[in-house]
């Protein structure tokens, strides 16, 4: 975990962060604007039936491919507030668009925090009206944006990468440490690049990367009402090779995923579950998520207990996968075989004493594979969430 500034900063972005008084005296407002000759966007959002009005507005802005800005309010999810909540979200979008100097329909909106409480909209209206327009974003500006979107995160999450063979770069920011099993792509995460990418290519590449990074992540198996992922590309650095772009985007996204897993509420260890030999990638993902979400597996990892029986239990409870044959399955901890033949219990226990634990299962069926990421389960998670609103 690190609070270092991003080393690569894309050109043509402006940032504004502030405290609107939503909950406390920390920054709770973030606005990032893309300026350039060929701004395109893409986004993916929660599939929750209780999705907040911010998600609806963000989905519309990103789906058009014309989003030019993102605005985030943290510490309040603005979910389950009926017509008032929708009106508040629309006003936030309008206020942000005026501050950014762009059309309201081009502003993707997100809000995260406590569910079922309305914005202090009058206070927010006054505070936003007093803000100066966003300023050109440097490394510190993007880091401030990452900090402004936090809720129970213990540190900001902001990373960057160069796109090979070009002068373009990507910065990614994310928040989230609980209520995380994305059922689309993610929690809140935003990517900003000065690469020039056609809208259709940006959308397909973004969805592909999200599928194997944020959609492979689970802290507690709970899907948020506010999950949002958006990418803005402004084209200032010119065209880039698509494969190089996807590689850089995947690198940034995966680093953010690992930071989130390590910062999971109460977490002390990252869990990486690699499933191979499945019928297809979808089956591998199903089994990997079953393992990484098991409370018994998570507590075993926390206690550095190489109880491989819990791993085979988690595989076995996928009872509709009738082609999974126990006689063909193998399980390892840290590369040490545990089943069908327990090779070296002490070596497995030593591996589990570290802060990144790798659990592997080969189903012995075909070539399907998927890697899931999560964290251990501690009493800290229970304490944080037992006291969350009080």
pLDDT tens profile 59-109: 899 888 889 999 999 989 999 999 999 999 999 999 999 999 999 999 999
Encoded tokens for 42 = 């893409």
Look at residue 283 in the predicted model and tell me its pLDDT: 98
pLDDT classification of 267: cutoffs 50, 70, 90: confident
> At residue 160, what are phi and psi to the nearest 5 degrees?
-150, 165
At residue 45, the 3 state secondary structure works out as: strand
At residue 254, the 3 state secondary structure works out as: helix
pTM score of the predicted model: 0.89
Look at residue 282 in the predicted model and tell me its pLDDT: 96
Nearest alpha-carbon partner for 304 in 340, 275, 263, 334 = 334
Interval 209-238: pLDDT, tens: 999 999 898 877 777 788 889 999 999 999
> What is the residue whose two structure tokens read 């070009």?
166
Look at residue 2 in the predicted model and tell me its pLDDT: 52
Look at residue 65 in the predicted model and tell me its pLDDT: 87
* Position 252 pLDDT exceeds 50: yes
Interval 346-382: pLDDT, tens: 999 999 999 999 999 999 999 999 999 999 988 887 7
pLDDT classification of 46: cutoffs 50, 70, 90: confident
Look at residue 388 in the predicted model and tell me its pLDDT: 63
Q: Give the angle 258-187-272 at the CA atoms, nearest 5°.
A: 30
| Residue 304 falls in which region: left (phi positive, over 0), alpha (psi -120 to 50) or beta | left
* Position 291 pLDDT exceeds 60: yes
Nearest alpha-carbon partner for 157 in 148, 167, 147 = 147
Cα(106)–Cα(35) distance, integer angstroms: 12
Look at residue 1 in the predicted model and tell me its pLDDT: 40
Cα(172)–Cα(15) distance, integer angstroms: 14
Look at residue 329 in the predicted model and tell me its pLDDT: 98
Residues 337 and 312 sit within 8 Å (Cβ to Cβ): no
* Mean pLDDT for the chain overall: 92
Look at residue 38 in the predicted model and tell me its pLDDT: 84
Look at residue 137 in the predicted model and tell me its pLDDT: 96
Look at residue 221 in the predicted model and tell me its pLDDT: 74
Look at residue 237 in the predicted model and tell me its pLDDT: 96
Encoded tokens for 25 = 């005296």
Interval 170-203: pLDDT, tens: 999 999 877 666 665 557 899 999 999 999 999 9
Look at residue 389 in the predicted model and tell me its pLDDT: 64
Integer CA distances (angstroms), 56 to 179, 305, 319, 346, 358, in order: 20, 44, 36, 51, 37
Residues 158 and 143 sit within 8 Å (Cβ to Cβ): yes
* Position 114 pLDDT exceeds 80: yes
Length of the chain: 390
Residues taking part in catalysis = 186
């Amino acid at each position: 975990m690190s609070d270092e500034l991003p080393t690569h900063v894309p050109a043509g972005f402006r940032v504004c962060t502030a405290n609107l008084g939503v909950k406390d005296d920390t920054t709770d407002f973030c606005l990032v604007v893309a300026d350039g000759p060929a701004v395109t966007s893409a986004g993916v959002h929660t599939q929750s039936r209780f999705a907040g009005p911010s998600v609806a507005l963000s989905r519309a802005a990103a789906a058009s491919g014309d989003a030019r800005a993102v605005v985030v309010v943290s510490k309040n999810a603005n979910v389950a507030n009926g017509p008032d909540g929708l009106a508040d979200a629309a006003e936030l979008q309008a206020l942000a668009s005026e501050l950014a100097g762009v059309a309201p329909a081009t502003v993707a909106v997100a809000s995260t925090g406590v569910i079922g409480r309305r914005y202090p909209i009058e206070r927010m209206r006054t505070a936003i009206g007093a803000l100066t327009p966003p300023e050109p974003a440097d490394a510190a500006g993007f880091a401030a944006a990452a900090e402004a979107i936090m809720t129970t995160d213990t540190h900001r999450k902001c990373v960057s990468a160069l796109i090979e063979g070009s002068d373009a770069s990507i910065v990614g920011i994310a928040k989230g440490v609980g209520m995380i099993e994305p059922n689309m792509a993610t929690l809140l995460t935003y990517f900003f690049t000065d690469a020039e990418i056609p809208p259709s290519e940006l959308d397909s590449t973004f969805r592909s990367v999200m599928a194997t990074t944020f959609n492979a992540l689970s802290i507690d198996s709970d899907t948020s009402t506010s999950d949002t992922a958006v990418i803005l590309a402004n084209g200032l650095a010119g065209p880039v090779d698509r494969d190089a772009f996807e590689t850089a985007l995947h690198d940034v996204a995966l680093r953010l995923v690992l930071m989130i897993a390590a910062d999971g509420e109460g977490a002390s260890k990252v869990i990486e579950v690699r499933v191979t030999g499945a019928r297809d990638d979808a089956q591998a993902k199903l089994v990997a998520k079953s393992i990484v979400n098991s409370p018994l597996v998570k507590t075993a990892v926390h206690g550095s207990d190489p109880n491989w029986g819990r791993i085979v239990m988690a595989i076995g409870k996928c009872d509709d996968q009738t082609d999974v044959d126990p006689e063909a399955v193998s399980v390892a901890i840290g590369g040490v075989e545990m089943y069908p033949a327990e090779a070296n219990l002490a070596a497995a226990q030593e591996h589990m004493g570290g802060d990144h634990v790798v659990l592997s299962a080969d189903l012995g069926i075909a070539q399907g594979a998927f890697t899931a990421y999560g964290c251990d389960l501690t009493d800290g998670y229970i304490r944080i969430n037992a006291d969350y609103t009080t």
